[in-house]
Amino acid sequence: MNTIYLDNSATTKTDEEVVKAMMPYLLENYGNPSSIYKIGRENRKIVEDSRKKVSQILNGEPNEIYFTSGGSESNNTAIRGILYSYKNRGNHIITSRMEHPSVLETCKQLEKEGWEVTYIGVNENGIVDLEELKKAIKPNTILITIMFANNEIGTIQPIKEVGKIAKEHNIIFHTDAVQAVGNIQIDVKKLNIDSLSLSAHKFYGPKGIGVLYVKKGIQFNKFINGGHQERNKRAGTENVAGIVGLAKAMELAYKDLEEHNRKIKELRDYYVEQIKEKIPYIKINGDIEKRLSGNSNISFRFIEGEGLLLNLDLKGICASSGSACTSGSLDPSHVLLAIGLPHEIAHSSLRISIGKYNTKEEIDYVVENLVEIVGRLREMSPLWEKFIEEENK
């Protein structure tokens, strides 16, 4: 049985061209970039060339790019680093209720340390309320952090407008763009972004490598002490192969972004139409238009998402019922609760995220199995039985 992978929001298969670009820096050019001998100097050059490539894609500057271990580290470093660096200006941060756990958990911890956090709401499609954002701003607000695109329901936020509001009030704006980079064209200057997080494994690059972009002039404290790598902001020997892989993956992602999005959107729309036609009592979660091209999040009423996932797995289908970082939890998704879904419907959600390696034949197979599995699980559900009884009265 072949595996059908439809969880590309959680991670992606590393592109063969990326692996090929990385291999020399694992097997031959293995020198430490901080060393003064030739293989060290050569690796220093490739690190800086990669930094330049990343900065050009984002329309930033090379000295605004810091390599990290991934999105969670970048988010933690940006939020804590900026707050501690500007604590003389205030102690207030604004975020939304549907951020990634690496942002929300950091904010909760900061509250315990005495910082003030305002969590603004979103509408039923998951779009932040700009008026609520404006009203939340205080004289002591230092930072606004709003994610670019949501990892569960795919909703794309009005980032340019959020950045403009922050700029007008002299507030630093950070965005978690982990889901957006590689799927959306991003110009940090035009979008009024002061700080941005990204992670290579979301766009067919290797795991364990990411970027924190921080606009020149914005200060942030370091959180890993030791050596003086990354302009004295992140100690530790650079992951040269990972850095090369990240830069190559970004290059490939933006080489033909429009065609990539066209293909996966066609597959996503085909999947959604098939589900709407063949399975009743569903709810599509997230904005229909302002969403990532490959994302679909649908609640199948009267069943549990966990049971749906387990049955799909038996058929070789990989999907998700929420964020990969919280998949061990039985609590309903905080994102789905934030858009107003009741617990029982939030529990019945299925996220599929289509990538560049998926095919229409795979979608047909998934839909065929979903029809059978949903029907079978509903027949076993007391909620379904109660619903049918009430419908027949």
- State phi, psi for 195 to the nearest 5 degrees: -150, 145
User: Which is nearest to 305 in space by CA: 275, 274, 327?
Assistant: 327
CA distance 170 to 2: 53
**Residue 293: CA count within 13 A, CB half-sphere:** 19
Q: Are 321 and 350 in contact (CB under 8 A)?
A: yes
User: Which is nearest to 237 in space by CA: 212, 209, 213, 215?
Assistant: 209
Strands 210-214 and 65-68: antiparallel
Catalytic residue among 235, 325, 337, 371: 325
CA distance 11 to 177: 14
Q: Are 213 and 188 in contact (CB under 8 A)?
A: yes
Q: Is 318 a catalytic residue?
A: no
The H-assigned helical ranges of 202-338 are 229-232, 240-255, 257-278, 305-314, 334-338
**Residue 202: CA count within 13 A, CB half-sphere:** 26
Q: Are 294 and 268 in contact (CB under 8 A)?
A: yes
Q: Are 194 and 86 in contact (CB under 8 A)?
A: no
DSSP 322: S
Q: What is the token pair recorded at 240?
A: 């040269």
Write the burial class of residue 26 (CB in 10 Å: 0-12 exposed, 13-18 middle, 19+ buried): middle
Q: What is the token pair recorded at 124?
A: 């039923």
Positions marked active-site = 325
